[in-house]
A = this chain, B = another copy of it.
Amino acid sequence: MGGSSFGKAFQITTFGESHGSGIGVVIDGCPSGVNLDMEYIQQQLTRRKPGQSSITTQRKENDEVKILSGALNNVTTGAPIMMWIGNLDQRSHDYDHIKSVFRPSHADFTYYKKYGIRDHRGGGRSSARETAARVAGGSVAQHICNKVGAKITAYVSSIGTLQTTKTYQELDLSTIDDNIVRCPDQALAATMIKAVEDARDDGNTIGGCVTCVIENSPIGLGEPVFDRLEADLAKAMLSINAVKGFEVGSGFAGSTMLGNQHNDQFQIDADENISTKTNYSGGIQGGISNGMPIYFKVAFKPTSTIMKQQDSIDAEGKNTTILGKGRHDPCVVPRAVPIVEAMAALVMADHILRNQTSNIDSIT
């Protein structure tokens, strides 16, 4: 029983390997009549693609997306949408040196043990390249979010130990792409970039965090008790390569608080707008969105491919060493920004569709 699909009402299935002919995604359940903004979709892929700046891998990919089914003149028809991203750069000889060695903290060992087959060419299916297909699918999902006015924005909030002290409200989220590390705390961004460059120059890698905010979410999204909105967001984020943690609203800090500090008291203003005075809940209560901004944070470990000698074992079970070669990505976090947005959009679109049938009054 495979695990290549995500979502129930708005469902994507991804396929393809990093060094085959390409990768892709099939979207099933997208409503008809969606006017696809191809420029936006391509832009999100471009924000994810390797080689986009001096602090990402220099592997070259155009990541040009084509829609091969499910749309007529860029309007969705209700049929499954297949999006294809051809692979340009298939230099699999870069990987010959690891043909018989398991790279530390990569998926080599576990894939080999589970499937009995070693597709060493760039990690095959476990490569971060697969996330391009998610970005493609997520950028279509974004159109569903747009229909109800929900706005999803992610940015880098920490690189290594460098963490912005500002909340998302204190930051100008329109400036995220003004620097290559995608941190809207412009004062901190330069230092972050330097940290990534240092890691890169040392043949090393560095981790970091992405924060995501969803403004103007409809009230009522989330299906208790298991498909709570935050549960599906958590799964979405932990399904991304290199993610080690997720927190929503007050998160881990919330666990150190007392109830009277943490409770979000309701208020209503003269215009009858209901809000909460604080938002430790992160816009979700009882698993369902309450209309306040949803925000969460995702932790990325430093990626595993480093240009340093490490101990390992080979397929014959002998101790050996491995030394990275070729191109490596010193920090995946800036490129993870559109991936986080895409996965969030997929969760939101799925729950927007699911919520259409919550009450009998709206059934026609």
Contact = CB atoms under 8 A, between A and B. Distances in A.
B250 A248 contact: no
A116 B223 contact: no
A34 B358 CA distance: 11
A155 interface: no
B317 A105 contact: no
Contact of A117 (B9, B77, B204, B239): B77
Interface residues of A, number: 160
B359 A356 contact: no
A244 B126 CA distance: 28
B313 A268 contact: yes
Given A1-B357, A247-B245, A33 B115 contact: yes
A167 interface: no
A263 B306 contact: yes
A209 interface: yes
Q: How many copies does the complex hold?
A: 4
B107 A286 contact: yes
Interface in A316-343: 317-319
Given A251-B245, A312-B266, A313-B268, A125 B235 contact: no
Contacts of A254: 207, 244-245, 299, 301-302
Contacts of A158: 255-256
Q: Which 4 A-B pairs have the closest CB atoms?
A: A107-B286, A3-B223, A3-B227, A2-B28
Given A14-B225, A110-B289, 6 more contacts: A4-B225, A31-B360, A31-B363, A32-B116, A107-B285, A234-B246
16 contacts: A3-B223, A3-B224, A3-B226, A4-B26, A15-B70, A24-B69, A33-B115, A33-B359, A75-B117, A78-B114, A110-B286, A218-B364, A231-B238, A247-B247, A255-B299, A262-B302
